[in-house]
Amino acid sequence: MNAPHFTTLPAGGTDADLLRQAERAGIATQYTGFWGETVNVASSVLRRALHAMGTYVDARAHADVVVVPLGDACPVALPSPSDWELRALDAPKAPPSAQGHGDVAELPATLAAGYYELRAAGQVRSVLVAPAQCWLPEGLRQGARWWGVTTQMYALRSERSWGIGDFTDLAQCAALSAAQGAAFVGVSPLHALRPGQPEAASPYSPSSRVALNVLH
């Protein structure tokens, strides 16, 4: 595997990157001026609009991210010969996961999946060790074909619940589905929402990804 090379992008990344972000966010990048001419929206205006929407991504923050396939060794070119060490972000006080000296950091194939920091020559780079694909149940890896049902928690009703569904209703739905041969029951996220903002009811924008929605 070739050693990754690192480049520094202009402030905020390339213009093409900024335009892609604006288009994804639905921000116009051009408009027709008073005299009928096409006017390009200034990059500074696009950045302010993206910041206001909370969707701006500074490409410089990702320029030095090294992605390592799980189980592969990976040489990372350093700016100059120096001592280097690699530490897992979830265990900052543990011994380094790898260390050495030179102009290339030889990351071993034994690294566990996760996030790391590579420190060398006064610089810090993020390292992501990731498997080639998302986890799959053993049955699917063996070619099994499964079916299931999808439901919204608030659409479940029973004589004992409030009419908006709760976890007992969901358990009963899962049991009934399993009895018919279903392998899964799919639901929308069930995380805590924002009690003080009832209009913010989307399950995909929770207030916490740790706590569950107390309504259920």
Using CA atoms, how far apart are residues 186 and 150, in angstroms rounded to an integer?
Answer: 4
Q: Looking at the predicted structure, is the pLDDT value of residue 3 above 50?
A: no
pTM: 0.48
Using CA atoms, how far apart are residues 39 and 56, in angstroms rounded to an integer?
Answer: 22
* pLDDT tens digits along 19-33: 888 887 888 999 998
Using CA atoms, how far apart are residues 149 and 185, in angstroms rounded to an integer?
Answer: 5
More confident call, 57 vs 113: 113
> Is 3 inside any structural domain?
no
Give the three-class secondary structure for 175: helix
Q: Are 49 and 92 found together in one domain?
A: no
> Is 80 inside any structural domain?
yes
Q: Answer whether 83's CB lies under 8 Å from 101's CB.
A: yes
Give the model's confidence band at 11: pLDDT under 50 very low, under 70 low, under 90 confident, else very high. Answer: very low
> Is 203 inside any structural domain?
yes
What pLDDT is stored for residue 1 in this prediction? 45
Identify which of 70, 97, 100 has the alpha carbon closest to the alpha carbon of residue 86: 97
Q: Are 44 and 94 found together in one domain?
A: no
Using CA atoms, how far apart are residues 50 and 206, in angstroms rounded to an integer?
Answer: 21
* pLDDT tens digits along 53-103: 766 656 555 556 888 889 999 998 888 899 999 999 988 889 999 999 999
Q: Considering its fold, how many domains does the chain have in total?
A: 3
Q: Are 192 and 143 found together in one domain?
A: yes
Q: Which two tokens stand for residue 54?
A: 């909370």
Q: Answer whether 99's CB lies under 8 Å from 85's CB.
A: yes
**Can you give the residue range of the structural domain that contains 21?**
15-61
